[in-house]
Structure 1
Amino acid sequence: MTPAVIAAVLLAAVTHASWNAIAHRITDKLVGFTLIGGGGALIGFAMILFTSVPAAGAWPYLLASAAVHIAYYVLLMRSFRLGDFGQAYPIARGTAPLVVTVLAAVFAHEVPDSWTAAGVAVSCAGLTGVALWGLRGSRPDWAAIAAAVATGLTIAGYTVLDGLGVRASGSSFGYIAWLMALQGLAVPAYAALRWRGATVAKLRPFALLGLLGSALSVAAYALVLWAQTRAALAPIAALRESSIIVGAAIGAVFFKERFGAPRIAAAGLLVVGIGLMLHTG
């Protein structure tokens, strides 16, 4: 990965953790994800006016990814309802890199070298540590953990689909525009049917915060998609999950969730893993 790709993915990590924190901050999760998804759709439709239509070969990946993203939103909402932000976010994000490594090897023929494989494994160990030390109370909340792990599996699925799709699209910005436009409509449509005439009243108190989250969401994923056209999927997926450290810090500072020495040690493992992935031999 070049310095520009590394910088783009790290910036995506910060913006991604930030929009997830905004989604968690809005008490009614359906309100939050309606604003974030709907705002993303509006941004996507606006981008369509100024970008190229993705090539025909990208559309099967794009449509499949839009469906997986909708499942991701549903599962992420459930994760945030059941668990602390500092627990749900790391588990969801930490599940993805190892699965992406396997899927990328099978479907994109990107077999990692020994340094990358070791880096992904060490990073996942660190991510798991950050997640487990975010557990609330003495017993694990298995429903919350299951929802977060399922969220992570959807992340792995759309990461590989979009990595292949954006490479076939001929335009990374055109791909992200159509993806945001398509995936962003589902949650607002469901919310409008559920709330009927009360939609505006429900959304108004959180409109600015939610729309900020939508802008951060689009920016974060656009950066990742651009990076996926220039480097292998597995190391990008693992490097992107440095957002977990940002997320854990946000959980400690803004949501008053504990962040002690064990989590700092786990974060150190993540940094070591990232260093191994970036080793050039």
Structure 2
Amino acid sequence: MEPHVFLAVLAAAVMHASWNVLVKLRLDRFLSLLLIQALMGVGGIGMLLAFPPPTAASIPYALTSGILHLGYNLFLARSYRTGDLSQVYPISRGAAPLLTLLVTWGFMHEDVNLTIGAGVALLVAGIWAVSLAGRRGLRLDGLTLFFAIGTSLFITAYTIVDGIGGRVSGQPSSYAGMVFVFDALFLSAAALAMRGPGVVRQVAPYWKTGVLGALLAGGAYWIAIWAMTKAPIAGVAALRETSILVVMLLSMRLLKEPVTLPRLAGALLIVAGAMLIRLG
């Protein structure tokens, strides 16, 4: 992976972690996702106006991505409703890079060398070590586990679809904008159908914080789509999950969480995996 692509994806990981840790809304998880996604859709319109249009061939990918992101948001919100974040996160985020590697290498025959493959494996192992350090196994009921695993499958699917769509589009920036618009439309329609027009009044007071979340979340995924046109999809998918290392560092700083040996070992595995992906 070229140095500038590597550094850009790391920056995206920091942005992804930051909006998850720093953007605190007094809303339930679903409404928080709705607000941020809707504002990302507004930004997406601006991106479509600012950049050359994507190819027509990429539109089906963006539409498919919008549907997959809707499933992701619904499953994520549901899994967090009854499951602890520290338990749901490693399943939903930690498994996706490995699944992405298996699909892109096994079915798409993408050129993923042994170095990148080993880097993805080390990074995923590090994510699980950091997330589950000091915990006595998973404590999730069957339905929550189902939604957490489903979230991981949706992440894998939309990552691959957007990786291909960004390449086909010829204009990854405007493709990203199109994805943001479709995501916002589908999730907004689902919210209105599920909760009625009152959702607008519920989220409106938090628009300023939502703008910050949208800038960070949108910028992070914009970079990821661009990076997947420059490097193997599996490598980018894994590298952006280094966000969990940033979450750990911010938690230690802001929440005064202790540094344990298993968490430190997991952090070293994440760094080692990232370095192998860079060299691959």
- TM-score, L = length of structure 1: 0.89
Alignment of 1:73-222 (within 5 A): 73-133=73-133, 135=135, 140-143=139-142, 144-196=144-196, 198-222=198-222
- Deviations along 1:40-65, one digit per CA (max 9) or x if unpaired, are 11111122222222212212222211
User: Following the alignment from structure 1 to structure 2, what is the Cα–Cα distance between the partners of residues 251 and 83?
Assistant: 19
* 1:3 Cα deviation after fit: 1.2
- 8 A Cα contact 1:87 1:134, kept in partner: no
User: Following the alignment from structure 1 to structure 2, what is the Cα–Cα distance between the partners of residues 172 and 138?
Assistant: 40
- 8 A Cα contact 1:52 1:174, kept in partner: yes
Greater Cα offset, 121-130 or 254-263: 254-263
User: Following the alignment from structure 2 to structure 1, what is the Cα–Cα distance between the partners of residues 217 and 120?
Assistant: 24
- 8 A Cα contact 1:166 1:225, kept in partner: yes
The 3 A distance-change label for structure 1 pair 88 and 116 is same
Q: What residue in structure 2 maps to residue 17 of structure 1?
A: 17
Q: What residue in structure 2 maps to residue 38 of structure 1?
A: 38
Query: 2:71 is matched by which residue type in structure 1?
Result: A
Query: 1:70 is matched by which residue type in structure 2?
Result: L
Q: Secondary structure of the residue that 2:50 maps to in structure 1?
A: coil
**Identity, % of aligned positions:** 37
Query: 2:139 is matched by which residue type in structure 1?
Result: P
* 1:150 Cα deviation after fit: 2.0
User: Following the alignment from structure 1 to structure 2, what is the Cα–Cα distance between the partners of residues 108 and 234?
Assistant: 11
Q: What residue in structure 1 maps to residue 242 of structure 2?
A: 242
* 1:23 Cα deviation after fit: 6.4
Q: Secondary structure of the residue that 1:242 maps to in structure 2?
A: helix
- 8 A Cα contact 2:67 2:186, kept in partner: no
Query: 2:35 is matched by which residue type in structure 1?
Result: L
User: Following the alignment from structure 2 to structure 1, what is the Cα–Cα distance between the partners of residues 138 and 124?
Assistant: 22
- Deviations along 1:151-194, one digit per CA (max 9) or x if unpaired, are 12211111111111110101011100110001112222333345
User: Following the alignment from structure 1 to structure 2, what is the Cα–Cα distance between the partners of residues 67 and 195?
Assistant: 19
* 1:257 Cα deviation after fit: 6.4
The 3 A distance-change label for structure 1 pair 250 and 87 is farther
Query: 2:237 is matched by which residue type in structure 1?
Result: A
Aligned length, in residue pairs: 279
Q: What residue in structure 2 maps to residue 54 of structure 1?
A: 54
Runs of 5+ in structure 2 lacking a partner?
Answer: none
The 3 A distance-change label for structure 1 pair 186 and 251 is farther
Greater Cα offset, 267-276 or 224-233: 267-276
* 1:199 Cα deviation after fit: 3.3
- 8 A Cα contact 2:86 2:132, kept in partner: no
Q: Secondary structure of the residue that 1:53 maps to in structure 2?
A: coil
- TM-score, L = length of structure 2: 0.89
Query: 2:224 is matched by which residue type in structure 1?
Result: V
User: Following the alignment from structure 2 to structure 1, what is the Cα–Cα distance between the partners of residues 218 and 271?
Assistant: 26
The 3 A distance-change label for structure 1 pair 252 and 31 is farther
- Deviations along 1:216-272, one digit per CA (max 9) or x if unpaired, are 111001111111111111111111110111223345555676663322211111111
Runs of 5+ in structure 1 lacking a partner?
Answer: none
Q: Secondary structure of the residue that 1:213 maps to in structure 2?
A: helix
* 1:7 Cα deviation after fit: 1.0
User: Following the alignment from structure 2 to structure 1, what is the Cα–Cα distance between the partners of residues 69 and 116?
Assistant: 27
